Amino acid sequence: MVSGSYTCRMILQPTHENIQRAAEVLRNGGVVAVPTETVYGLAARIDQPAAIEEIFRRKGRPRDNPLIVHVAAVEQAYDLTNEHGKQLINAFAARFWPGPLTLVLQASRLVTSYVTAGLDTVAVRMPRHPVFLELINAVGCPVAAPSANISGKPSPTIAEHVETDFGNNVLVLDGGPCEIGLESTVVHVSNGIVHVLRPGVVTAEELATLALDVVEQADSPIVVDVARSPGMKYRHYAPQAHVVLCKTADELRAACQHDIAHTVALVPAYMLEQFSGLQVRALQQQTFYEELRRADALQTRLIVVLCDQSITAQNALYNRIQRASGIEGKGQ
Ligand code: AMP
Ligand code: MG
């Protein structure tokens, strides 16, 4: 029997044996950290209320912020919802699952209020990472998994980030760096209209190919319906350092001059050569959270992010940059 607490380093290679070990922890009502193609997740079986509670406790996650439920098969998702939900799953899954798209559906009785934070809907996704899929299959039950970070901090995109936040008492399956590095797109469909509750790498344009209307606010890359997506009202993805945005190379240089020794600049990779004398790093989707964490580890006080058109065109990345800076935020 595997106990819930550990004293040795708990980052494990995702061998068949170690995935079985993680499955045993989940079966015994524990939590484990798992790689996904988006960010690392902190996972528990949805039929284990104490383990779900443990996720909220360890993350310091507000109780009104519901969890995404992960499945390894479409049939497993059917059980979590009603007839209408099944139709939506059929429409979206063929095109986007497994992958970084989360559907908010009417919840069936199988989903407890611990998972939904008392809502009558449930968020469901089939991840694309083979290690996570093997784990879900091994436990034979859908698994709830928010990002494996302390709430509010940047999401973890390598196994070591999980260890930084939770120490060595959570088993982490090491799937390497996350392929996408940002959280999934979250959508809710009502009256045939797809509402994007959280932008992700599945874009409104791609969703529109399903011949449903996709709602997007004209003046913002963010479509937030706070009543429907409780998590969006909280400050997210934020490092310790202050984050400011600028639009041009000149603005960036000026912003860095104030405290050059404690300032890190994040710029589009093609501009890296232009800033000798500054602590400058490449700004890209896959490593954005890693760079925020790296800057904090270096006691950085200010992170200046150069958002030219090549960055603002990337809705999901630009959304996370804005949120890290605290610019965006209804009710934050
Ligand atoms: P995280 O697990 O940290 O990636 O956050 C999950 C996101 O999905 C949050 O923004 C939640 O508010 C959102 N979410 C989860 N369940 C629901 C739901 N039933 N209705 C609306 N949004 C949800
Ligand atoms: Mg999160």
Phi/psi of residue 116, nearest 5 degrees:
-90, 0
What is the distance in A from the centroid of ligand 2 to the CA of 10? 21
Q: For ligand 1, atom 9, which residue shows the shortest CA distance?
A: 231
How confident is the model over 278-305, as pLDDT tens digits? Answer: 999 999 999 999 999 999 999 999 999 9
What is the distance in A from the centroid of ligand 1 to the CA of 66? 5
Fold topology of 242-325: Rossmann fold (3.40.50)
Atom of ligand 1 nearest to the CA of 38: 4
Do 11-223 and 242-325 share a fold?
A: no
Percent of the chain beyond pLDDT 90? Answer: 78
What is the distance in A from the centroid of ligand 1 to the CA of 123? 6
How confident is the model over 205-249, as pLDDT tens digits? Answer: 888 877 665 555 433 333 445 445 666 666 667 889 999 999 999
* Beta-carbon-side half-sphere exposure of residue 3 (alpha carbons within 13 Å): 5
Whether residue 66 is preceded by a cis peptide bond, meaning omega within 30 degrees of 0, is no
Atom of ligand 1 nearest to the CA of 107: 19
Is 136:74 a contact under the CB 8 Å cutoff? no
- How confident is the model over 306-311, as a mean pLDDT? 97
Phi/psi of residue 308, nearest 5 degrees:
-85, -175
As a whole number of angstroms, the longest Cα–Cα distance in the chain is 60
Q: Which CATH code for domain 11-223? A: 3.90.870.10
Q: Where are the alpha helices (DSSP H) in 83-176?
A: 83-96, 113-116, 130-139, 159-166
- How confident is the model over 189-218, as a mean pLDDT? 77
Residue 181: C-alpha distances to residues 12, 178, 208, 290 (Å): 20, 5, 23, 9
Write down the mean pLDDT value for the chain.
90
Atom of ligand 1 nearest to the CA of 228: 21
* Beta-carbon-side half-sphere exposure of residue 295 (alpha carbons within 13 Å): 32
Spell out which residues line ligand 1, taking CB within 6 angstroms.
Answer: 65-68, 104, 116, 119, 121-123, 146-147, 183, 186, 197-198, 228-232
Q: For ligand 1, atom 1, which residue shows the shortest CA distance?
A: 146
Taking the C-alpha atoms of residue 312 and residue 296, their distance in angstroms, rounded to an integer, is 24
Place of tokens 């209307």: 213
Parse the chain into domains and list their residue ranges: 11-223, 242-325
Band (274; pLDDT cuts 50, 70, 90): very high
Could you say which ligand is closest to the alpha carbon of residue 151?
Answer: 2
